[in-house]
Structure 1
């Protein structure tokens, strides 16, 4: 089973003194692209005003420019611990036990705008780059879309749960040749009985689901097995008529 997560705009400070090591990152086929994009971002950070404009940063976020300028020598931290924000707060990976964290390392990939697909245990520095950051050609989307999709082809025999936002899906769609991939949408049922997609609580629901999966520790082979586990564990999962996986909260 493969679980795809979006990144978070916010990152935790600090980490291990060991600097960025591309050979320590999952999906080595992306290394050349990663190196080139890190160089572009670091060079752009030498012109702070330009970087703040392109990344749409206000003065309160000026510290992000220095993060980008020092990418190559900054401390690193496991990706699953680096990201903060609603989804990652609900997941609360730092408080999971060793077995649950090992599950995350084996089964979770985080789709970074700077590094492409990252394993949960990959050591990365803090950085600032978003799916819609206004880089000159090639754009962030052009940089990653084909490369990430190609990497996902290696998972065509697995159950793939795509918990990314639609914006990050566009940065690397799961190819049609991966037949057991399901985009997850978080919904609620209103008083009228109609299901509606959620926004803010969508992230919280996704984080709580991944935490429950990590604590359970089972590598599900089919979506039917996953839905049956959900029914027994209080995670209300179902398939929509269009083939999306729905999580009702």
Structure 2
């Protein structure tokens, strides 16, 4: 099972250890694309701070994020699973998983990123600010920049099992499973059952709990139909729609009455 996660806007501060080593990150086929984004992002932030804030979509109150990007090559790195914070990651609670579940997380979780493309939770990265929606002056829209490299690297990472796609639309733009791989991919929406509406906070928290439940139970479904059964066995209310055509992903709705 491969679980595709969005990053978080909020990030823990960089570590105090060794700085970033691009060549040590997972999915080495993305290295050249990572280098290109890193080079332009650092150059942008070293230059005109106001322009950098505009390109990155940062408010005046987030001016310090530009300085953070300036130091990307020298700041201490830490595991990505510690860098990403926020609602989904709080609910996932990687630090509180038992040792066996942590090993499953290291194998199964892949976090998408405007800067890194995608990283494992064990990959060591510095804290940064660069969403997938950014359009850099030289490289252009990052979603488009990543597509070619992702198309080559991600099918191998997916292997022969289930792909559980929990990304937001901006990050899904960087890679879309195709063909046979799409047929064993499941996307998930979390709906407030009484209103049938998606609520962002509830959506993120429930997705984090779903991943934690699967990792803690040691469940690794081979395909979407098995995932539906597994989630129901874990106590989730799930409605599933199998794809109506070849090359399309399954769509799962998880219904919740209350989310806390």
TM-score above 0.5: yes
Residue 246 of structure 1 corresponds to 253
The answer for unaligned runs of 5 or more in structure 2 is: 244-249
Structure 1 segments unaligned to the other structure (5+ residues)? none
Q: Aligned-pair distance for 1:241?
A: 5.4
Paired residues for 1:102-121 under 5 Å? 102-121=103-122
Q: Distance in 1 between matches of 2:220 and 2:41?
A: 37
SS at 2:135 equivalent: coil
Q: Find the counterpart in structure 2 of residue 24 from structure 1.
A: 24
Q: Judge conservation of contact 2:143–2:170 (CA < 8 Å) in 1.
A: no
Q: Which residue of 2 aligns with 1:190?
A: 194
Deviations 1:142-169 (A, max 9, x none): 2112222332222252110000001111
Q: In structure 1, what is the Cα distance between the partners aligned to 2:84 and 2:104?
A: 18
The answer as to whether partners of 1:156 and 1:177 remain within 8 angstroms in 2 is no
Corresponding position of 2:160: 157
- Give the number of aligned pairs: 246
| Counterparts of 1:176 and 1:68, CA distance in 2 | 38
**1:11–1:82 CA contact under 8 A, matched in 2:** yes
Q: CA RMSD in A?
A: 1.6
Q: What SS class does the counterpart of residue 244 from structure 1 fall into?
A: strand
Secondary structure, in 3 states, of the residue corresponding to 1:18?
A: strand
Displacement after TM superposition at 1:11 (Å) = 0.5
Q: CA deviation at 1:229?
A: 2.0
Q: Do the aligned partners of 1:78 and 1:120 also contact (CA within 8 Å) in 2?
A: yes
- Please identify, of 152-161 and 199-208, the stretch whose mean Cα deviation from structure 2 is larger: 152-161
Which consecutive segments of 4 or more residues in structure 1 shift more than 4 A? none
Query: Contact 1:19/1:74 (CA < 8 Å) preserved in 2?
Result: yes
TM-score, scaled to structure 1: 0.93
TM-score (norm 2): 0.89
